[in-house]
A = this chain, B = another copy of it.
């Protein structure tokens, strides 16, 4: 046998670092599950949320399906039933267990899912060490995609768990440490940005999702952007001013959602007890902190609040322009270095995905990958809005300023907030 060529060495180094990244991401998924009781792993309070156990299995299925089966020599499928059970939405792979019934999968058990993870990890590490990985950029690229995919599910783990635990009046805390109080934020400042024809979308060689490409020209007119998010006390002022009862502040579809709801209107996790507002957090039920950014708002709530303020939501292009050209200090809560901490515990003023007014549509010239993996992002480009900025629940190393998160306007269970914009 002869020594590997220089370029093979480089690729090996790259493969080694991908392997390390793989392990870090995989371990983090299990780390964040540590506080769970076995019983918590199976919760699914609505179709859009998935049980923690399902997230753990599905992310493994992703590596098994898109890496191990096509690329790992002699790889043997772990369990014949798992392809169906843990496929989320990839029609190109095959059928899927009904999404809204995932809580009915008591089997495989939590322990069996962890065994599945170990099996996949072992095979993935072998693959990344193999000659194939040194020769195929596809393997490294897809592994990187698989890691980002798992990180997305890490954030969903937090948002889904919070929503599910909230349904139980015992209001169990995920993190039994007290939630540190927020500091009173400074008065909101407006940053002005001059209109220009600029480039939008991911730049450079690093990883990005397909929906951040191609980088393309976009004209953005003069605008101003708030230097921080809207706070709970500001949202309470909206409510005190009849914000939820004044149809002129609401988009028609949002008003219809309000009227159809059996609940008296308030942000999702707000609970009123003897005239006082409390908020359910992953630290349990706490008194509503007026200084913390108002969170878990739907796009309809965000939009109504903005209209009440005589403002509007930013477009995703305004947001990206501001994030790119502003010194970090000028645009709070959007730092690309997300803290590797439990949600809600660390960042004093919080950090939330920020609704934009931009529909989630393809950039000009958008292309998807061939095969089932092409279903990753593209097929969701209808009826959703883009959110920007990351959140306290976003995994470390996952975020970029060109990142386009997307949810439906009524969705409230993500870590969402409001940054105001207005015409200059």
- In the complex, which residues 226-279 of chain A have their Cβ closer than 8 Å to any Cβ of chain B? 247-248, 250-255
Could you tell me the distance between the alpha carbons of A251 and B197 in the complex, rounded to whole angstroms?
A: 30
Write the chain B residue with the least CB distance to A254: B382
Asked if A409 is at the interface (CB within 8 A of a chain B CB), the reply is yes
- In the complex, which residues 342-385 of chain A have their Cβ closer than 8 Å to any Cβ of chain B? 357-359, 361-362, 364-365, 374-375, 379-383
A361: contacting residue among B164, B357, B364, CB under 8 A: B357
Asked if A78 is at the interface (CB within 8 A of a chain B CB), the reply is no
Number of interface residues of A (CB under 8 A): 68
A53 proximity list for chain B (CB < 8 A): 39
A248 proximity list for chain B (CB < 8 A): 91-92, 374-375
Cβ of A106 and Cβ of B217 under 8 Å apart? no
Render A81-119 as a binary contact track against B, CB cut-off 8 A, 1 for contact: 100110001011000010001011111111000000000
Q: A106-B165, A107-B170, A312-B362 are in contact. List 11 more A-B contacts (CB 8 A).
A: A38-B110, A39-B42, A39-B109, A40-B107, A43-B103, A85-B170, A104-B168, A221-B365, A248-B375, A357-B361, A383-B383
A residues bordering B, Cβ < 8 Å? 37-43, 45, 53, 81, 84-85, 89, 91-92, 97, 101, 103-110, 164-165, 167-170, 172, 195, 197, 216-219, 221, 223, 247-248, 250-255, 299-300, 303, 312, 357-359, 361-362, 364-365, 374-375, 379-383, 409, 423
